[in-house]
């Protein structure tokens, strides 16, 4: 058996072409926050850098086919904030960018309407945990009124804000909360899924189960968020942020989660089969 197992192993050297140098434009656009724009160039898969900086880069922003901003991208920064640019739901947005060599890239989208969303109930309940037995959690019910006649893609982000009174004023910190995603909307569904089971897509889900209807989404937070912070004089607020994504960004975000999840997986080739 040892000889058979040894004979099935084979080392294969892969010669992969190094690629990079493609202009990349990335932006966060939301009616209730400051617009951010990222401009860079892609790097080879063998590079240890996240991106290549762009020199002599320019960015033009169009709102409803009208130029509302035109600026030189700061080469020494990863992001450029544009606080003077404001949008409303329904606005058509297009961003164009170019570098010093004349390469151009662009993207466009439409600001979606705000989806009615509220925290309707909270309770402390005892859950059965397959790994740690029973545990207390803070169960939260979030009511979503999904717009009809269109496919919608969401991401639910939860974070806490802890504030303390100090000399000179109030000091506040924010931290993202990792919550239990046991609601059916977070399960892999049809072609939206991944071949990797039990993967956490960071709160991304679609309206497949409740398209055009009212839905009560339930999540569990660690039970410590049901009480005041341990620090004397500190106060805590929990924020629930429901993002509306386009289908393109939704697929992109999920593919990134799968790629990052796969970084730590062992890939081996044995007798013609790929085992993960």
The kind and range of the H/E element at 97 are: strand 92-98
- Which residue, 120, 128, 122, 119, is CA-closest to 225? 122
Long-range contacts of 134-137 (CB under 8 A, 24+ apart): 135/223, 136/223, 137/180, 137/220, 137/221, 137/222, 137/223
Give yes or no for residue 18 having a pLDDT over 50. yes
pLDDT at residue 262 in the model: 67
pLDDT in tens, 132-157: 678 889 999 999 999 887 889 999 99
Give yes or no for residue 268 having a pLDDT over 50. no
- Which residue, 3, 6, 1, is CA-closest to 271? 6
pLDDT at residue 166 in the model: 76
Confidence of residue 267 (pLDDT cuts 50, 70, 90): very low
pLDDT at residue 269 in the model: 36
DSSP 8-class letter at 180: B
Report the DSSP beta bridge partners of residue 63. 66, 93
Percent of the chain with pLDDT over 70: 82
pLDDT at residue 190 in the model: 47
pLDDT in tens, 222-262: 998 888 777 777 788 899 999 888 888 888 888 888 877 76
pLDDT at residue 90 in the model: 87
179 vs 9, more confident: 179
């Amino acid at each position: 058996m040892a000889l058979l197992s040894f004979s099935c192993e084979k080392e294969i050297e892969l010669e992969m072409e190094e690629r990079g140098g493609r202009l990349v434009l990335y932006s966060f656009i939301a009616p209730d926050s400051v617009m951010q724009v990222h401009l860079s160039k892609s790097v080879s898969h063998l590079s240890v850098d996240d991106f290549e900086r762009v020199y002599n880069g320019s960015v033009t922003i169009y709102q409803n086919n009208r130029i509302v901003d035109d600026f030189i991208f700061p080469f020494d920064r990863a992001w450029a904030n544009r606080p003077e640019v404001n949008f409303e739901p329904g606005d058509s947005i297009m961003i164009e960018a170019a570098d010093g060599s004349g390469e151009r890239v662009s993207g466009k989208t439409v600001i979606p309407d705000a989806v009615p969303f509220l925290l309707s109930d909270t309770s402390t309940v005892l859950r059965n945990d397959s790994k740690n037995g029973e545990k207390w959690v803070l169960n939260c019910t979030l009511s979503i009124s999904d717009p009809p006649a269109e496919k919608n893609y969401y991401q639910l982000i939860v974070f806490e804000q802890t504030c303390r009174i100090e000399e000179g004023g109030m000091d506040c910190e924010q931290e993202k909360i990792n919550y239990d995603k046991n609601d059916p909307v977070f399960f892999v569904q049809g072609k939206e899924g991944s071949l990797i089971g039990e993967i956490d897509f960071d709160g991304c889900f679609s309206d497949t189960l409740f398209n055009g209807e009212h839905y009560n989404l339930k999540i569990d937070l660690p039970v410590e968020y049901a009480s005041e912070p341990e620090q004397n004089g500190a106060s805590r607020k929990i924020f629930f942020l429901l993002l509306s994504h386009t289908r393109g960004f939704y697929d992109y975000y999920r593919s990134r989660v799968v790629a990052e999840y796969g970084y730590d997986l062992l890939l081996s080739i044995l007798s013609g089969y790929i085992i993960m």
